[in-house]
């Protein structure tokens, strides 16, 4: 991945998977031509530093595949709307799952909101899951995936639009990318600690609930009874998980000096490893954004 295009660059496209374009630094009149040129090659285009709705729309129309920028983490994505009933129901289901409720109670909670089951199955059966057999029901999902994996997809469902044929939510892409990136970093640092990887993924997902629900994050978390490490990371950027969340948020800004400064607290994590993990996370988020 690189950002500097010159006349000598085309041969490099044979060995590049993703091209990141800084839409702030590139002149608006030059950007369409660059996109058209890159579209001649088998690469994915990532728009970096998307700062407002108009910019996001233009990048979509030009044909970018992936996006980064603070715009997607702002409450204005939802136009100031209050959280709908289905999202509040999902929060209650997460409380049940985290509290160890039996499978029957979880199934009953989904039955009260029929569209939730349908939308959850759409995500679970998307390309990002890679299942050999499609999950046909919540009960089947609990058996095939297990409670821990299904809980992860319930978290993602919070950000989904819920409407078939509607464009994937930019906030969902950002939440999924952030969560996956945190999980991948933890897997590099602690390859055999699955519980910690799960907590890292949850921290990334829940970090954008304030933007999603247009409520103060502390008030939302008070209803969820989260693991203490996850809650401290979300509210105070405390602990190892808080430090990783800080790195992920800084990475989204594209500020290289700031990223390098944050990495000093993680001597085992190199900039190259972070870039590789980020690309993998972006690809994964793109595959499950339905």
Is 35 in the same domain as 60?
yes
Q: Could you tell me if 53 and 105 lie in one domain?
A: no
Residue 110 inside a domain? The answer is: yes
Domain match, 112 and 55 both? no
Q: Is the pLDDT of residue 92 over 90?
A: no
What does the alpha-carbon distance between residue 105 and residue 111 come to, in Å, rounded to a whole number? 10
Same domain for 228 and 251? yes
Asked whether residue 211 falls in the same domain as residue 273, the answer is yes
pLDDT tens figures, 112-135: 887 888 888 888 887 555 677 788
Sheet holding 44-48, edge to edge: 18-22, 44-48, 66-67
Is 194 domain-assigned? yes
Closest by CA to 122, choosing from 228, 147, 131, 261, is 131
pLDDT, residue 80, reads 41
Q: Is residue 5 part of a domain?
A: no
Residues 117 and 149 in one domain: yes
Q: What is the pLDDT of residues 13-55, one digit of tens each?
A: 666 677 878 878 788 888 888 888 888 877 778 787 777 667 7
Tell me what pLDDT residue 224 has. Answer: 81
What does the pLDDT average to over 147-151?
A: 84
Residue where a domain stops, chosen among 21, 39, 67 = 67
Give CA–CA dist 188/206, Å, rounded: 22
**Residue 149, Cβ density class (10 Å: 0-12 exposed, 13-18 middle, ≥19 buried):** middle
Question: Is 220:213 a contact under the CB 8 Å cutoff?
Answer: yes
Domain-terminating residue out of 40, 67, 94: 67
Domain count, the chain: 3
What mean pLDDT is predicted for residues 187-206? 92
Q: Tell me the residue range of the domain where 209 lies.
A: 170-288
4 lies in some domain: no
Within a domain: residue 193?
yes
The confidence score (pLDDT) of residue 274 equals 94
- Which pLDDT tens digit goes with each residue over 154-187? 888 888 755 554 555 778 888 899 999 999 999 9
Examine the domain organization and report whether 240 and 278 are in the same domain.
yes
Asked if residue 121 and residue 33 are part of one domain, the reply reads: no
Give 97: exposed, middle or buried? Use CB within 10 Å, 0-12, 13-18, 19+. Answer: buried
pLDDT for position 204: 94
In a domain, residue 1? The reply is: no
Give the angle subtended at the CA of 50 by the CAs of 46 and 56, to the nearest 5°: 90
Q: Which two tokens stand for residue 145?
A: 């995936």
What's the whole-model pTM score? 0.71
* Same domain assignment for residues 183 and 260: yes
Mean pLDDT score across all residues of the chain: 80
Q: Domain check: are 272 and 191 in the same one? A: yes
Whether 74 is in a domain gets the answer no
Kindly state whether residue 164 falls inside one of the protein's structural domains: no
Task: Output the pLDDT for position 262.
Answer: 92
* Same domain, residue pair 93 and 140: yes
- Looking at the structure, do residues 199 and 223 belong to the same domain, yes or no? yes
């Amino acid at each position: 991945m690189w950002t500097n295009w010159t006349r000598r660059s085309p041969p490099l496209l044979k060995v590049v998977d993703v091209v990141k374009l800084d839409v702030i630094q590139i002149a608006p009149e030059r950007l369409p031509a660059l996109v058209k040129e890159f579209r001649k090659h088998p690469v994915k285009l990532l728009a970096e530093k998307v700062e407002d709705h108009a910019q996001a729309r233009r990048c979509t129309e030009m044909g970018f595949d992936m996006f980064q920028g603070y715009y997607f983490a702002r409450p204005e994505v939802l136009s100031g709307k209050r959280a709908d009933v289905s999202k509040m129901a999902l929060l209650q289901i997460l409380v049940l799952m985290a509290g160890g409720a039996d499978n029957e109670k979880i199934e009953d909670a989904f039955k009260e909101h029929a569209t939730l089951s349908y939308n959850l199955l759409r995500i679970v059966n998307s390309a990002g899951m890679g299942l050999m057999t499609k999950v046909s029901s919540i009960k089947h999902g609990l058996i095939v995936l297990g409670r821990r994996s299904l809980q992860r997809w319930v978290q993602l469902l919070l950000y989904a639009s819920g409407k078939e044929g509607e464009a994937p939510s930019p906030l969902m892409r950002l939440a999924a990318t952030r969560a996956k990136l945190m999980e991948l970093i933890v897997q590099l640092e602690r390859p055999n600690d699955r519980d910690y990887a799960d907590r890292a993924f949850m921290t990334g997902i829940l970090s954008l609930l304030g933007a999603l629900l247009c409520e103060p994050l502390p008030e939302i978390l008070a209803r969820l009874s989260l693991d203490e490490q996850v809650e401290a990371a979300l509210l105070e950027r405390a602990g190892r998980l808080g430090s990783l969340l800080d790195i992920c948020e800084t990475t989204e800004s594209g500020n290289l000096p700031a990223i390098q400064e944050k990495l000093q607290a993680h001597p085992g994590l190199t900039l190259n490893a972070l870039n590789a993990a980020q690309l993998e996370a972006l690809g994964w988020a793109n595959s499950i954004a339905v």
